[in-house]
């Protein structure tokens, strides 16, 4: 459910950036949601689509990029694709591994007029 809070935060962030850049409208916004970020990309996207009405993002194209999870084994240092936080190292079967990617949740860029 925190996806709604996050969506509001994105709208506020976009508003601030538009003001800083004296932009009257935002054409596009690109947001990266890592698979291990704790944010459900689909729920977040739906929340954002619902909440943009009457905001600076109302007419913006929203691009949500999902980034796959990556882990590095604490034992054998193997880097591997991590589908979830409890993934076991495919090489030495050790656990846990350090998350080395896919925990990002950020606004990548905006395109303004």
Partner 1 sequence: MCDTCGCGDTDELKIHDRQPVHDHKHDHNHDHDHTHPHSHEHSHSHDSVLFTQSHDHGAKKVISLNVDILSDNNRLAQLNRKSFEARNVLCLNLVSSPGSGKTSILEKTIKALIANRKIFVIEGDQQTLLDADRIEKSGAPAIQINTGSGCHLDARMVDSAFKKLDVVPGSILFIENVGNLVCPALFDLGEFKRVVVISVTEGEDKPLKYPYMFQSSHLCLINKSDLLPYVDFNTDKTIEYARSLNPNLEFIIVSAKTGEGMDLWFDWLSRQK
> What is the distance between the alpha carbons of residues 26 and 95, in angstroms, rounded to a whole number?
44
Q: What are phi and psi of 96, to 5 degrees?
A: -90, 170
Q: Among 55, 72, 78, 96, which residue interacts with partner 1 (rule: CB under 8 A)? A: 96
| Residue 80 interacts with partner 1 (CB under 8 A): yes or no | no
Residues in binding contact with partner 1, number by CB under 8 A: 50
| Residue 58 interacts with partner 1 (CB under 8 A): yes or no | no
Q: Among 76, 77, 82, 105, which residue interacts with partner 1 (rule: CB under 8 A)? A: 105
Query: Strand, helix or coil at 9?
Result: helix
The number of beta carbons lying within 10 Å of the beta carbon of residue 92 is 13
In sequence order, the β-bridge partners of residue 64 are 31
Nearest distance from residue 91's CB to partner 1, in Å?
18
Query: Strand, helix or coil at 11?
Result: helix
| Residue 110 interacts with partner 1 (CB under 8 A): yes or no | yes
| Residue 31 interacts with partner 1 (CB under 8 A): yes or no | yes
In the structure, how many helices (H) and strands (E) does the chain have?
2, 6
Residues that bind partner 1 (CB under 8 A): 1-2, 4-6, 8-10, 12-13, 16-17, 20-21, 23, 27-28, 31-32, 35, 38-39, 41-42, 45, 61-68, 70, 84-86, 95-96, 101, 104-113
């Amino acid at each position: 459910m925190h996806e709604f809070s996050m969506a509001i935060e994105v709208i506020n962030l976009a508003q601030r950036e538009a003001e800083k850049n004296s932009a009257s409208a935002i054409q596009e916004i690109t947001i990266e949601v890592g698979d291990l970020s704790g944010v459900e990309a689909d729920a977040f996207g739906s929340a954002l689509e619902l909440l943009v009405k009457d905001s600076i993002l109302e007419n913006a194209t929203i691009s949500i990029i999902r980034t796959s999870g990556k882990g590095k084994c604490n034992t054998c240092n193997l880097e591997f694709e991590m589908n979830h936080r409890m993934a076991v190292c495919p090489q030495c079967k050790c656990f846990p591994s350090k998350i080395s990617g896919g925990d990002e949740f950020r606004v990548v860029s905006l395109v303004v007029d």
